[in-house]
Amino acid sequence: MTARVTIVGASGYAGGELLRLIHGHADLQVGQVISRSRAGQPVHAAHPNLRGQALPNFDAPEALAAADVLILALPHGEAQQDIERYNGLADNLIDLSADFRLQSDEAYQQWYGQPHATPAWLSRFTYGLPELNREAIRAARYVSGVGCNAAASILALFPLVRSNLLRPERPIVVEVKVGSSEGGAKPNPGSHHPARSGVVRSYAPVGHRHTAEVQQAFGSEGPEVHLSLTAVEMVRGALATAQAWVQPGTGEKDLWRIFREVYADEPFVRIVRERRGVHRRPEPKLLAGSNFADVSFDLDSATGRVVALCAIDNLMKGAAGNAMQCLNLMLGLEERAGLGFPGLHPI
């Protein structure tokens, strides 16, 4: 049976990617396409790449009706205000914003500076990163999206954390280079082209909110992790570079072993570590439009410092593609369905 999927907040970049993915999925059907700012307009008015596709026009939020699945692609803070209404309209719900990623109101207040509007709902959502929570996602009705910077950081570090090879007294610092699409479709002074062109800008050296997701993913007994974000001149993509320290005596073969053990059966995680050629380590540019996460590592054996890398397309594995992967799991479909696009080169 084909599932009908409605997108609320469909005029943004993640909404456009969701439309592209759902429209090309054999077991899904695009339901309503909701946008307050674009109501009545054709989809290609916001997403010109979808011109000529058989898609409905944008509807106003007031016209929202029942569907099999609701995907909320709203600005942070909005989904929690109306979650009871959304819950009554669909059996399955995925929220891409930060509203339901954290599991406690205390953590939400700490990182977002205000109480959550519906704190009882926080524990009802499953954090939607399949590489960590696959079986819980299969059984879930409510799944949160992931922060793109958090997803890249978690996937870079997960084998090291799970292996117990890290030195607990040494904090981990992750620097994430991000493209301009992370700022969303609504223009702002930081994304204005003359101000953005040629930039390498450290805009969140400390205290970024996605740090909370990384800490939550690894648990209270996990390592101390600090995120630092840098804007660079690309549209799509995020590259997490994690600096960590492993126990004395850890060698390159140990790292190969743990990365292969953790990611051997993951359909969208690839280890990229070549001895020759230009593309020897993960590069976000090569992943544009794909749901793949490319990971790698290097070891300074003299100091025990490991540099772990993860590259993703922030709009795909960091948002819409990851949501589609979760939706496949929730509906009992093949996890890779609709997500086979490998990216483009050159681009």
Q: Domain residues of the chain, as ranges?
A: 3-146+319-330, 148-312
86-105 pLDDT per residue, tens:
999 999 999 999 999 999 99
40-59 pLDDT per residue, tens:
999 999 999 999 999 999 99
**pLDDT of 79:** 98
Known catalytic residues? 148
* pTM metric for this prediction: 0.95
Q: Given 1.10.1740.10, 3.40.50.720, 3.30.70.3040, 3.30.360.10, which CATH number is that of 148-312?
A: 3.30.360.10
Residue in 22, 65, 26 with CA at minimum distance from that of residue 47: 22
130-138 vs 148-163: helix crossing angle, rounded to 10: 100
144-174 pLDDT per residue, tens:
999 999 999 999 999 999 998 999 899 999 9
Residue in 78, 242, 72, 71 with CA at minimum distance from that of residue 150: 242
- Which residue reads 């696959």 in tokens? 134
Q: How confident is the model at residue 179 (pLDDT cuts 50, 70, 90)?
A: confident
**pLDDT of 247:** 94
103-131 pLDDT per residue, tens:
999 999 999 999 999 999 999 999 999 99
Across the chain, mean pLDDT equals 94
The one-letter amino acid at 326: C
Check if 3-146+319-330 and 148-312 are the same fold.
Answer: no
| Residue 189 pLDDT exceeds 80 | no
Give phi and psi for 236, each to the nearest 5.
-105, 145
CA distance 294 to 228: 20
Q: What CATH number was assigned to the domain covering residues 3-146+319-330?
A: 3.40.50.720
